[in-house]
Structure 1
Amino acid sequence: MEKAAPTAVARKRESDGIAGSWPRNRARGGNYDGNWVAEDPISRLPDAILGTIISLLPTKDGARTQALSRRWHHLWCSPPLHLQANSSLFSSLRWRPTIINRILSDHPGPARRFHFPFIQFTPGDIDSRRTELDGWCQSRALDGLQELNIYYGRWSREPPHISFLLPTSALRFAPTLLVLKIGSCNFPSEISPSLSFPLLKQLILRCVSISEDVFDQVLSGCRALESLQLWDILTARRLHIRSLTLRSIGSRARSACTQELVIEDAPCLERFVSLYPPDISFETIRVIGAPKLKILGLFSPCVSTLQIATLVVKGMSPVSLANSICTVKVLALYSSGSQLNAVLNILRCFPRLEKLYFTLKKHPKMDMKNVHLCDPLDPIECLAIHLKKLVFENYKGRHQDADFAKFFILTAKVLKEIKISSPKGNDIKWVDDQHKLLQVEDRASRDAEPEFRSEFSCLGKTKQIHDLLDDPFDCSCCRIKCNVLSGESCP
């Protein structure tokens, strides 16, 4: 009887599918909690696909997949490294060097992305931070890097004197980089004449101190560059842009930064966008050689001189109405205290406009008597023939706002869309009152009825600069919208 019991138990185990030791393949992919649980379908995928999935996860989550099972244990080191060294990777800054060093030593490479968005330092640890970053950039695990994002910061809230020098070791990735983002540092004052970025598509320089000569040399080495963002560049008094491949430029400049931007030769340039807020920009912008330019904005009076080909605009006043730019199809304007007549003169300079965006200033002082200065025998071409979309941002519903918007609603004859963004866009009674103020029933185009929305402006946000969408000012795809007339959420 003593020997019979184990035999019976063995038979029972065999009938339950667990005779003897557990099958190796089940132990690797399945789980046992008294009953077998079938191997999950994701774990059955090939290593190459699982590696791709892991590479898309944040660094911390990707490393944690090793704990799922033995099936996943080796996978984290097999795909290219995407190292995102931000607060999600370490809760305390003092653990940063240890964690990053371990990742770089454990992962064999190659690397695709090294994202270090905020390297904090104080005057006493500048040298140690520079040594730390230089060591990481020399790691073999980062060989073949495609995206590099380094941004420095300081504890002091005072405007910093940029004193953190970008390690020259960071430039060793130039042959393989597709995306380069550098912020708050000194770019090396001397670089190798042979330095080039043959594959680089996107370049962002934010609060970077760089000389005119070095900037010219870097840009000339970018033979595939499509998107450039210049954000508060220091040291250089004037920046010249010459690029045979560049399609998009986003810019911003504070008073202490570079004051003149000259686009001399950019045959493929399609968009030039001033980054938000609209009252911070270069004092002088000259777009001399951009025959394909079709998107322009945010256009504001803070630019003392804007030149596009032969068109010269001082503030918001064209020097001559005889010159016009027929290639521009999308225009974003920041309406100020200027008279409406000045805005209309701007529109005369862009006769083929199809989309027009207005960001209304907080307290506009429009002299609406200028409306009567428009000669019906001399119509504005874009309002009469081409304009299909009209958008008002920061609309408060005051009489000044309503009078300004009403002119365009009553004048633009072929509109298909009228969108008005307002903090009160979800108040049905307020919307009804605005319809009366705007005289919607008398609109020039019967095909377009104003659509009020409660949403925030995203004109000039950086993401759209690099997306190379047809219209970087159309943020409808990334907003939470509400159709106040039907009470339903918009798709």
Structure 2
Amino acid sequence: MADSTRSRVRRRRLDAGRNRLGALPDDVLHHTLTYLPVTEAAAAAALSSSWRHLWRSHPLVLKDKGIPEPERDALVPRALADHPGRFRSVILYDCRLASLNRELPGWPRLLVDGRTQQLLLAHPSHHLRAPPPSTVKQRDSARLLPADILRCGSLQELSLDFWTFSADLSCHADISRPQLQILTLMRIVITDRDLECLIAACPLLKSLRLTMNSPTHVRLRSKSLSCALVGLSKVEEFTVVDTPLLQRLYLFQQFNGGAVRIACVPNLRVLGYLDTRTHKLQIGDSVIRPDTMASARTVVPSVEILALAVNLGISGEVKILASFLRCFPNVETLHIESAPHKPPVTSSEPSGEHHARFYQEVSQVDCLRAHAKKMVIHDFRGDQNEFEFVKFVAKNAQELQFFLVVVSDEGILSSADKVKEIKDELQYVQFRAGISAVLWELPKAGILYRLKRAADLAINDPFQC
């Protein structure tokens, strides 16, 4: 044990009666400091003689959240420059590129030299407003991602928000991502080819999140990836090419829909939300249509938990729903999001009196009949077409053990009479012996909470309320 360490231990023992915090081991004290804003952590270290060495002797944890606005431009570069050790975590929600370049030229290289493990760089939010057309090129050049960020071979987690990748940046031979396990890209300007290259060049990548990025054609190829969260708001074609270890594919922000193509996913267990209103599903080389029947070329047998969005009042969507279900014959847990049609349903669409008839016309669905053990209908509003679907499930799901109806629309939750009406009508639905519909009144969770659950593989069912 070094002399300086022995001195600190003796000093802490003497002060133990007066200062129990000071008697704690260095690792515990440093862990405590990491929960404080950087300004408070620095102040605490300055006030306590036993804490002063902690800031420099342990891996840096730097978060700009909570730093007062006047001090931020100077404090962040100074914290990076003054710390001699490794950087465990650098989280900059307000990454001011101009001030960083001015106060600390070469700061990206400092992240490399500091062997940073976790890095989040988000461009300032006040830059997100749509600029005049004449300033677009200037804006993009002002937020070019420094090349050294991708040369940080120690990174295990990287999150980038509102940056532009320079041409062929992700494919440079000297770019290193050998330890990267978690990658988040939000509002990133990058070519289709570079995105594919970036993902494929991360040999240990486990978790991927793509949200509102520029590519319209996304090809997902990874030998290590186990979880992918993909926002499809700008994607015209999303293809899972070769992901042998992928267990979970969570699709969200489906404003425009597009083609969803699934090729090699032998271990895919959780999939959703597929949207019957907008998605064109393709399994291998087969495009799934309303009359598609199950075959060896059109099924993904590994999927056990499936989530679908559908307007249950549109006969065409119900038929697509049945075709989608046939593609996943071994589903045991099924989530249905009852989605209203936008724009509103036209007069040519079937009215309530036709609902029972067109459910009778739906061809048999094997996964519903022989495998589904649990079903949840989300955003239930109590429309007649929804009740007809519940009756269809009750009649056909022979292995069903649990059926949950979730009322989450704020308008319905505020109406006790409407909730009672839904409960009363559900009681008349005849399930097989021992099964009945359970009603939950629950506000819909926000997107950030749902994405957090979806990224956690310890949570078995990310669609569960």
- Work out whether the TM-score is over 0.5: yes
Find the partner of 2:114 among 143, 147, 162: 143
Tell whether the 8 Å contact from 2:63 to 2:90 is kept in structure 1 after alignment: yes
Tell whether the 8 Å contact from 2:112 to 2:148 is kept in structure 1 after alignment: no
Instruction: For 1:333, give the aligned amino acid.
Output: L
Is 1:188 the counterpart of 2:161? The answer is no
Find the partner of 1:241 among 196, 220, 230: 220
Secondary structure of the residue aligned to 2:42 is helix
Cα distance in 1 for partners of 2:323, 2:382 equals 25
Cα distance in 2 for partners of 1:332, 1:359 equals 8
**Which digits, 9 at most, give the CA deviation of each residue in 1:215-241, with x for residues without a partner?**
23322320101111222221x453322
Tell whether the 8 Å contact from 2:291 to 2:319 is kept in structure 1 after alignment: no
1:14 aligned partner: none
2:282 aligned partner: 307
Instruction: For 2:386, give the aligned amino acid.
Output: D
Is 1:217 the counterpart of 2:192? The answer is no
Q: Could you tell me how far 1:272 is from its partner in structure 2?
A: 1.6
Seen in structure 2, the aligned counterparts of structure 1 residues 39 and 406 have a Cα distance that, compared at 3 Å, is farther
Percentage of matched positions with identical amino acids:
25
Is 1:331 the counterpart of 2:306? The answer is yes
Structure 1 residue ranges without an equivalent (≥5) = 1-23, 31-37, 121-125, 477-491
2:440 aligned partner: 452
Secondary structure of the residue aligned to 1:204 is strand
Is 1:370 the counterpart of 2:358? The answer is yes
**Which digits, 9 at most, give the CA deviation of each residue in 1:343-395, with x for residues without a partner?**
223222222111111222235867522222256xxx42222222122112222
Seen in structure 2, the aligned counterparts of structure 1 residues 44 and 382 have a Cα distance that, compared at 3 Å, is same
Q: Could you tell me how far 1:259 is from its partner in structure 2?
A: 2.2
1:117 aligned partner: 93
Instruction: For 1:338, give the aligned amino acid.
Output: I
Cα distance in 1 for partners of 2:380, 2:419 equals 12
Find the partner of 1:392 among 349, 367, 377: 377
Cα distance in 2 for partners of 1:141, 1:321 equals 52
Instruction: For 2:393, give the aligned amino acid.
Output: F
Secondary structure of the residue aligned to 2:148 is helix
Q: Could you tell me how far 1:170 is from its partner in structure 2?
A: 1.9
Tell whether the 8 Å contact from 2:373 to 2:401 is kept in structure 1 after alignment: yes
Tell whether the 8 Å contact from 1:111 to 1:146 is kept in structure 2 after alignment: yes
1:473 aligned partner: 462
2:57 aligned partner: 78
**Which digits, 9 at most, give the CA deviation of each residue in 1:314-370, with x for residues without a partner?**
5xx364544332211111111125323332232222221111112222358675222
**Which digits, 9 at most, give the CA deviation of each residue in 1:371-427, with x for residues without a partner?**
22256xxx4222222212211222222333333334324442333333322244597
Instruction: For 2:455, give the aligned amino acid.
Output: H
Seen in structure 2, the aligned counterparts of structure 1 residues 26 and 117 have a Cα distance that, compared at 3 Å, is closer
Secondary structure of the residue aligned to 2:72 is helix
Cα distance in 1 for partners of 2:399, 2:388 equals 20
1:404 aligned partner: 389
**Alignment TM-score, normalising by the size of structure 1:** 0.77
Cα distance in 1 for partners of 2:436, 2:174 equals 56
Seen in structure 2, the aligned counterparts of structure 1 residues 77 and 388 have a Cα distance that, compared at 3 Å, is farther
Secondary structure of the residue aligned to 2:386 is helix
Secondary structure of the residue aligned to 2:189 is strand
Q: Could you tell me how far 1:284 is from its partner in structure 2?
A: 1.9
Structure 2 residue ranges without an equivalent (≥5) = 1-9
Cα distance in 1 for partners of 2:52, 2:463 equals 44
Tell whether the 8 Å contact from 1:237 to 1:259 is kept in structure 2 after alignment: yes
Tell whether the 8 Å contact from 1:179 to 1:203 is kept in structure 2 after alignment: yes
Find the partner of 1:96 among 45, 58, 72: 72
RMSD: 3.2
1:262 aligned partner: 239
Tell whether the 8 Å contact from 2:232 to 2:255 is kept in structure 1 after alignment: no
1:351 aligned partner: 329
Secondary structure of the residue aligned to 2:58 is coil
Cα distance in 2 for partners of 1:71, 1:130 equals 34
Cα distance in 2 for partners of 1:104, 1:158 equals 32
Is 1:158 the counterpart of 2:130? The answer is yes
Q: Could you tell me how far 1:89 is from its partner in structure 2?
A: 1.9
Cα distance in 1 for partners of 2:43, 2:291 equals 60
